[in-house]
């Protein structure tokens, strides 16, 4: 069956996620308005594109998720959490976190998918109380953190994290999960790093049930 990617007009609609390609690509176009982004996440869809591409919308199957109660913390990581001088805050410097996430060099990536438009859109979501950040400080310097979307339905959609010093993003992730009541963390797509912390694959249909 050939894949036809749908173009999104100004109407606030998305095609059914079952129409996504094998790798999860669903549609292109539309905008990054708060209304569209909230609708997208509530349907299991997220934007992911480079500077030189149109807005691309994805809904992969399987989905990569973490159940907070299955979080894995290694002995060495427990030691880091106990003995480090890191200070953790929530929603103290959202702009600092997303800005650092956009600049961090990642293996195998030329540029960043966290474009200026994405940064501005998620800052707006943060101002509306929908996007959240976790910050890790060493003395008064922001050295790590993560941000994502709180759907207010027990699911947190993690977007990106960064570390300027060893283990800072892991500390952000672990402490965030240990101190929240989410039933599911959406990690979107597979990474070794998140698998080592207990994330696993889940069929998209099952994931969508958690969103509704």
Work out the widest C-alpha separation in the chain, in whole angstroms.
56
Domain with CATH 3.30.70.3550 in the chain: 6-62
Per-residue pLDDT at 204? 98
HSE-CB of 26 using CA atoms within 13 angstroms: 22
Residue 24 Cα distances to 79, 145, 185, 201, angstroms: 38, 27, 19, 14
Contacts of 93 (CB under 8 A, 6+ apart): 133, 135, 142, 145
Where the chain has pLDDT below 70, the residues are: 1-2, 105-112
Nearest to 194 by CA among 63, 17, 76, 46: 63
Please report which helix (H) or strand (E) contains residue 40, including its range. helix 34-42
CA separation for the pair 161, 134 (Å, rounded): 9
Q: What is the per-residue pLDDT across 118-170, written as a single tens digit (0 to 9) for each? A: 999 999 999 999 999 999 999 999 999 999 999 999 999 999 999 999 999 99
Per-residue pLDDT at 112? 60
CA separation for the pair 195, 72 (Å, rounded): 9
Domain with CATH 3.40.630.70 in the chain: 64-211
CATH of domain 64-211: 3.40.630.70
Q: Is this structure's pTM higher than 0.85?
A: yes
CA separation for the pair 112, 183 (Å, rounded): 30
Nearest to 193 by CA among 154, 165, 167, 155: 167
**Count of C-beta atoms within a 10 Å radius of residue 22:** 8
Per-residue pLDDT at 138? 96
Say if residues 99 and 136 touch (Cβ distance below 8 Å): no
Per-residue pLDDT at 202? 97
Per-residue pLDDT at 113? 75
Contacts of 58 (CB under 8 A, 6+ apart): 20, 24, 25, 26, 45, 46, 47, 48, 188
CATH of domain 6-62: 3.30.70.3550
Per-residue pLDDT at 109? 47
Please report which helix (H) or strand (E) contains residue 159, including its range. strand 155-163
């Amino acid at each position: 069956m050939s894949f036809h990617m749908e173009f999104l007009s100004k109407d606030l609609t998305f095609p059914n996620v079952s129409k996504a390609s094998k790798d999860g690509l669903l549609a292109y176009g539309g905008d990054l308005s708060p209304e569209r982004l909230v609708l997208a996440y509530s349907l299991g869809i997220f934007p992911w594109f480079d500077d030189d591409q149109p807005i691309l919308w994805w809904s992969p199957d399987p989905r990569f998720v973490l159940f907070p109660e299955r979080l894995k913390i290694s002995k060495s990581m427990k030691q880091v959490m106990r003995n480090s001088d890191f200070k953790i805050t929530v929603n103290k410097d959202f702009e600092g976190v997303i800005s650092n996430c956009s600049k961090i060099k990642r293996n195998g990536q030329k540029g960043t998918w966290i474009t200026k438009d994405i940064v501005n859109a998620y800052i707006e979501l943060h101002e509306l109380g929908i996007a959240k950040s976790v910050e890790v400080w060493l003395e008064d310097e922001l050295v790590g953190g993560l941000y994502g979307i709180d759907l207010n339905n027990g699911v947190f959609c993690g977007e990106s994290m960064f570390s300027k010093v060893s283990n800072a993003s892991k500390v952000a992730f672990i402490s965030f999960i240990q101190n929240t009541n989410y039933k599911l963390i959406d990690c979107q797509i597979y990474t070794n790093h998140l698998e080592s912390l207990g994330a696993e694959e889940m069929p998209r249909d099952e994931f969508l049930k958690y969103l509704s």
